[in-house]
Amino acid sequence: MRFNLNGRWVEDAQADPQSTILRYLRTQMAQVDVKEGCAGGDCGACTVMVGQVTEQGLQYHTVNACIALLASVHGAYVITPQGLASDGELHPAQQALIDHHGSQCGYCTPGFVMSMAALYQQQFSQADSDAAGQTVSNRPADRLNAWPVPEDEAIHAAISGNLCRCTGYRPIIDAARAMGEYPAKNADAVVSFDPKEINVSQENGLQPLLKKQQRQLFLPATEEQLKALLQQYPQATLWAGGTDLGLEISQRFSQFDTVICLHQIDSLQHWQHQSDEPSGQLVLGAGMTYTQLEPVLAKDFPSFAELLHRIGSRQIRNLGTLGGNIANASPIGDTPPVLLALGAQLEIDGIHGRHQIAAQDFFTGYKQTRLRTGEYLRAVILPKLSPSQTLHCFKVSKRYDDDISAVMYAAWLEIDDQQIIQARIACGGMAATPLRAYTVEQALTGQPWCEATVLAAAQQVEQDYQPIDDVRASQGYRLQLVRNLLLKTWAQQEVVA
Ligand SMILES: Cc1cc2nc3c(=O)[nH]c(=O)nc-3n(C[C@H](O)[C@H](O)[C@H](O)COP(=O)(O)OP(=O)(O)OC[C@H]3O[C@@H](n4cnc5c(N)ncnc54)[C@H](O)[C@@H]3O)c2cc1C
Ligand code: FES
Ligand code: FES
């Protein structure tokens, strides 16, 4: 196990395979500037920046160190608040926070600093990619002047996973807007880096990266290696982003004997357009994170792309994957209803060979799926929308950011000449699995597309769903939401038309 911490390489073959980044930093490296608040990915106190080497230099993103496995940063750079300052000079994110009176308590501030610093570095990358043709070594020295002030939306997204329960966000946002006023030393990378030092072998995927007592962790680099490992360890726990599984370790203290991490397998993060369907298909690797999906979905499925901004926080979206959301099979997962409404297919591989299954046949019960032992989700196939088809995705939760749905609603409609040809409506939070509203769909199909049709169909919602009362919403509220969201679909479609 090898990673770079604040500019210094750390190697440890003895680390616990189940160590999170946070636990390792605080207990093995005495790096106590990274804080633990909730230990569940919610508060952002533990935020660190993770840097990957690309052709553009080091590209940073933030993660919740409390739920991310240490193995997830094998070969990567990890920056903590202390690592941001160099030679006694604070990073612009730190100095701007001080100057704008945005520094608060010792728990939330380190996390805010890291989220702001990642935004600062990303703004540089954006400026650099705009200045086409310039490599890391030949960028002009005065490029600091080109730091683009981020849009408020980008600032809000960057700190969407950082909670302060006591004071206010306004000074923090002011500081984020002002970061460009402070020139940064070593602005390219925060730390000096040499890609040659990474030295992470891709050939040892069949050997455990970490092993301690009965626990072992593998980091396959290809699907071939993954399948070979599944032959040997069919019961192994597949670990993608760990934004569901990480809580098993940090909050439930569960033990996993054999873990196979998926994040180094490039083919699970690929996406491509195919032309099999009349309008074509978009094939998404199951290992794509939400952050990777956002730009890919934006053109063909804008409503789906918009929904992604409502999933967790920036830190969660940097780690959490589409495949993890599906395989976790939570009734309140946000993407499954969309996949049901779109008529998506899931591609599965593993020890029984490759095959496909319709998303709507995948979920068999509360957190139960048709995935068999030794299998993994490989890809998700979305039929693209023809000009007569539309997709509407609505998430209703108590908070805008970083909150789980009370109801997640998705509607796919095919309307021709003001007549509903086909309708697929699916919801999460209404049953033990994500579920289609077949009676409502029947009430819509073949009818004229008008408000009266939608109002009549909305009366059928109780035929399809008998949700439970829980902390997020009562049964009556959930049913009323679905009725209202049908009407919202009508209103939105009218605006589009
Ligand atoms: C603070 C917080 C906020 C969240 N907010 C939301 C939210 O708004 N909406 C939402 O839907 N979810 C939310 N989640 C849940 C979680 O982020 C998502 O479900 C995420 O997509 C899980 O993906 P992952 O890669 O992290 O999965 P992991 O935790 O790695 O895995 C989850 C499950 O899927 C299995 N798995 C993963 N990949 C594969 C694969 N390719 N093949 C087979 N099995 C696989 C794992 O074995 C495990 O059983 C939140 C979680 C946290 C901690
Ligand atoms: S400690 Fe709260 S998100 Fe990690
Ligand atoms: S949580 Fe730090 S000031 Fe509120």
Phi, then psi, of 328 in degrees rounded to 5: -65, -25
Low-confidence spans in the chain with pLDDT less than 70: 126-146, 185-188, 198-203, 494-497
Which residue, by CA, sits nearest to atom 36 of ligand 1? 324
pLDDT (0 to 100) of residue 139:
43
The answer to whether the beta carbons of residues 112 and 39 sit under 8 Å apart is no
DSSP 269-331: G-EEEE--STT-EEEEETT-BHHHHHHHHHTT-HHHHHHHTTSS-HHHHHH-BHHHHHHHT-T
Task: Among 3.40.1160.10, 3.40.50.2300, 3.30.390.50, 3.40.50.300, name the CATH number for the domain at 267-496.
Answer: 3.30.390.50
pLDDT (0 to 100) of residue 125:
72
pLDDT (0 to 100) of residue 134:
45
The answer to whether the beta carbons of residues 56 and 128 sit under 8 Å apart is yes
pLDDT (0 to 100) of residue 192:
75
- CA of 320 relative to ligand 3 center, distance in Å: 26
In sequence order, what E strands does 65-122 have? Answer: 77-79
State how far the Cα of 211 lies from the Cα of 121, in Å rounded to an integer: 35
Residue at token pair 């520094």: 103
Asked whether 38 lines ligand 2 (CB < 6 A), one says: yes
Query: Which ligand 3 atom minimizes the distance to the CA of 37?
Result: 1
Cβ-based neighbour number of residue 142 at 10 Å: 8
Ligand 2, residues 26, 46, 403: which to mutate, most atoms within 8 A of Cβ? Answer: 46
Give which of 15, 17, 75, 81 is closest to 48, Cα–Cα. 81
State how far the Cα of 312 lies from the Cα of 314, in Å rounded to an integer: 7
Spatial neighbors of 173 by CB under 8 A, at least 6 apart, are 152, 155, 156, 159
Q: What is the largest CA-CA distance in the chain?
A: 71
Asked whether 46 lines ligand 2 (CB < 6 A), one says: yes
Task: Report the alpha-carbon angle 216-218-223, nearest 5.
Answer: 150
Query: Which ligand 2 atom minimizes the distance to the CA of 161?
Result: 3
pLDDT (0 to 100) of residue 124:
74
Task: Among 3.10.20.30, 3.20.20.150, 3.40.50.300, 1.10.1740.10, name the CATH number for the domain at 2-197.
Answer: 3.10.20.30
pLDDT (0 to 100) of residue 140:
45
Residue 424 pairs in a beta bridge with 412
* Cα-based torsion angle of the residue sequence 365, 370, 376, 381 in order, rounded to the nearest 10 degrees: -100
Q: Which ligand sits closest to the CA of 319?
A: 1
Task: Among 3.30.390.30, 3.50.50.60, 3.30.43.10, 1.10.286.10, name the CATH number for the domain at 210-265.
Answer: 3.30.43.10
Ligand 2, residues 33, 38, 107: which to mutate, most atoms within 8 A of Cβ? Answer: 38
Tokens found for residue 203: 């050939």
Pocket of ligand 1 (CB under 6 A): 40-42, 237-245, 262, 286-287, 311-312, 316, 319-321, 323-325, 327-328, 333-334, 371, 376-377, 402, 404
State how far the Cα of 435 lies from the Cα of 425, in Å rounded to an integer: 8
Task: Report the alpha-carbon angle 337-343-344, nearest 5.
Answer: 85
Distance, C-alpha 168 to centroid of its chain = 26
Question: How far, CA to CA in Å, does 479 sit from each of 406, 459, 462, 474?
Answer: 11, 10, 7, 9
Domain boundaries, the chain: 2-197, 210-265, 267-496
Positive or negative: CA dihedral 171, 177, 180, 181: negative
State how far the Cα of 160 lies from the Cα of 112, in Å rounded to an integer: 10
Distance, C-alpha 147 to centroid of its chain = 26
Provide the edge-to-edge strand list for the sheet that holds 271-274: 271-274, 281-285, 375-383, 345-350, 355-358
Ligand 2, residues 25, 32, 43: which to mutate, most atoms within 8 A of Cβ? Answer: 43
Phi, then psi, of 206 in degrees rounded to 5: -90, -10
